[in-house]
Structure 1
Amino acid sequence: MKWPVVPLGEIVDFYSGGTPSKANSDYWSGSVPWFSAKDMKRDVLVDSADHIADDVFTSTSIKRLPRGTVAMVVRGMILAHTIPISILDAECAINQDLKALIPRRDVVPAFLAAMLRAQHGEILSQVSTAAHGTRKLDSRVLENLKVPLPPLSEQRRIASILDHADALRAKRRQAIVYLDELSKSIFHHMFSMFEWQTRLDSIIAAGPTNGLYRPASDYGAGVPILRIDGFGSGAVLSDSYQWKRLRANEGEIEQYALAPGDLVVNRVNALSHLGKSALISDISEPSVYESNMMRIRIDTNRANGDFVLAWLQTRRAKQQILRKAKKAINQASINQADVKSLVLPLPPLELQCRFAERVEAVRVERAASERFSASADDLFYSLQSRAFRGEL
């Protein structure tokens, strides 16, 4: 069914936000949600990190927004890659980095938000750069954006279908979170009582060895190279991860080769990410690693790689790393001696291997959950696209 297509400016009222004076503490002593870009992390928001008083609406030009307002981030560096869109499910206010879209009587907020998300790529392409370098989305772009406008009953039907599909996505994502927590719980249950301490260098067969540095011009083709932005801490890496490629000679490939069972530990990063680590699993071609991480080969007669990787994610391990860190402006570092001197509990190898078997079972289940999650995402985006075209 083909529906009327109208400019967004004809079906919503636009309002810009603002920030009450920080010098007036009374403005910040209330309970009214005051949303900013840092809050825009969910499709529906009911509360914010910051709150303001009712007096703000009578003493300043800041407007109280009704429940059901659709908000978009229209200024900030996040617009370099995404346009956060949320429904504000409470009477509230917004700051100047957001734009409020108040639907008129013939528009359902959930339908409007879905139609905006369906045009995410188109909207993102209209983002410009302000004189001081930040990104911005001009109001005229939004006012002229074309959106379909079916009857109210159809809007509600479509919004309900998309809401159910999105709920399925959320359940799939939550299942992955539960499985990640399960691995941590297994480690804690099996090893929290072990008190004896061992230096990490006593279970290292080779390394730590810093990785390969090459200029950006050498990237793009060649052998796979593991970069620090290619994994999250605690990951087990295989061919399925997003490896970059680098031109390297045979000597470099041999010197900086990664092998199954190797651990990599980040040595230079922001303090919050310092020590990020991963375990190399199955890789089908010679691969290397970059200079801001170290490679460690574990003595498999004394320790299991899965056990050591899990220990590196614990609070005690991270506390040791932070104590040893050399801090500089915007980053921190650890060296090979720091890593070798880390102290960990070392239970019997048989128990470590039993832990590895359990974690592998969780890993298999997690991979299945990721596939289910990807399928749920595909279904949602397909439904969203069909709804925008009037085919749902």
Structure 2
Amino acid sequence: MAQAIFKHWFVDFEFPDENGNPYKSSGGKMIESELGRIPEGWEVVSVSEIADILSGGTPKTKIKRYWDGNIPFFTPKDARNGCYTLDTEKLITKEGLEKCNSRLYGKDTIFITARGTVGKLNLASRNMAMNQSCYAIWHKNDRQYYMLFSLRSIIKKIINNASGAVFSAINVKDFNTFKLVNAPDSIIKNFDCIVHPIFEHILALSNQNKILESVRDTLLPKLMSGEIRVPTEQMVR
């Protein structure tokens, strides 16, 4: 749903005009740009012009007190196909965070994998730290959902244009060359407000699924071993 709205507004340019009508099909003025025809008042920008690109780091692995704390530590291994990252394979301590080049990134921070499996995008479900094989991205006007879909479109184009070449890494300078069509902030803000409840619903369902999976993993071995039994109709009588 949110992806469809993004495409309708920012790819097909059918966002609501001042009268609530779809812009392009209602005769909205279009102008030429390096990325093709775009609505008047829009512009082509690089990702680094509209977002902060932040890096991470890893505490020394030999120092045990830096690890197994309560701070999720995002790495490319934690990049899932889902929207939100709920948990991470590794955890670090507060001291570990202080001793590395990462910071604590808040909910809805976009993580993009820069090495390994490159270009995977996830949202942080809560405060998380991050290693140096990823970047954390935050839109300068806090338009995170717009930023997420824009990055998905950019990465998809890069992969499609690679023509079989290996997309092996992203470095911070690449964000100066990643271009997108940027709308006035009032339109982007309206989009983010509309899709915000959708993302909150996705996160709530993801957390519910996590709880159900935990219950299943606890009960199933006990059911199989006979430690607990499901009451039959005769037992209930």
TM class by smaller structure: 0.5 to 0.7
Distance 1:306 1:282, change over 3 A: same
SS at match of 2:12: coil
Equivalenced residue count is 193
- Does residue 8 of structure 2 align to residue 189 of structure 1? yes
TM-score (norm 2): 0.63
Partner of 2:74: 226
AA in 2 matched with 1:265:
I
Partner of 2:176: 340
C-alpha distance after superposition, 1:172-225 (max 9, x if no partner): xxxxxxxxxx22112112222343422112113x4343x214565457424431
Q: Which of 131, 135, 140 in structure 2 is aligned with 1:294? A: 135
C-alpha distance after superposition, 1:132-155 (max 9, x if no partner): xxxxxxxxxxxxxxxxxxxxxxxx
Larger Rg: 1
Partner of 1:259: 105
Distance 1:369 1:251, change over 3 A: closer
SS at match of 2:174: helix
User: Unaligned 5+ residue runs, structure 1?
Assistant: 1-181
Matched ranges for 1:190-205 at <5 A: 190-194=9-13, 195=38, 196-204=43-51
Partner of 2:198: 362
- Does residue 150 of structure 2 align to residue 305 of structure 1? no
Distance 2:125 2:45 in 1: 25
Distance 1:379 1:245 in 2: 24
SS at match of 1:308: helix
Q: Which of 108, 113, 120 in structure 2 is aligned with 1:276? A: 120
Kindly indicate whether the alpha-carbon contact (under 8 Å) linking 2:57 and 2:130 is maintained by their aligned counterparts in 1. Answer: yes
TM-score (norm 1): 0.41
Distance 1:203 1:379, change over 3 A: closer
Structure showing the higher strand proportion among its residues: 1
SS at match of 1:334: coil
Displacement after TM superposition at 1:234 (Å): 6.4
Displacement after TM superposition at 1:292 (Å): 1.0
Kindly indicate whether the alpha-carbon contact (under 8 Å) linking 1:263 and 1:297 is maintained by their aligned counterparts in 2. Answer: yes
AA in 2 matched with 1:212:
G
Kindly indicate whether the alpha-carbon contact (under 8 Å) linking 2:76 and 2:115 is maintained by their aligned counterparts in 1. Answer: no
Distance 1:258 1:187 in 2: 29
Kindly indicate whether the alpha-carbon contact (under 8 Å) linking 1:298 and 1:304 is maintained by their aligned counterparts in 2. Answer: yes
The two structures, once aligned, show a CA RMSD in angstroms of: 3.8
Kindly indicate whether the alpha-carbon contact (under 8 Å) linking 1:187 and 1:310 is maintained by their aligned counterparts in 2. Answer: yes
Q: Which of 128, 132, 155 in structure 2 is aligned with 1:317? A: 155
Q: Using CA pairs below 8 Å that are at least 6 residues apart, which structure has the higher relative contact order?
A: 2
Distance 1:358 1:317, change over 3 A: same
Distance 1:344 1:357 in 2: 21
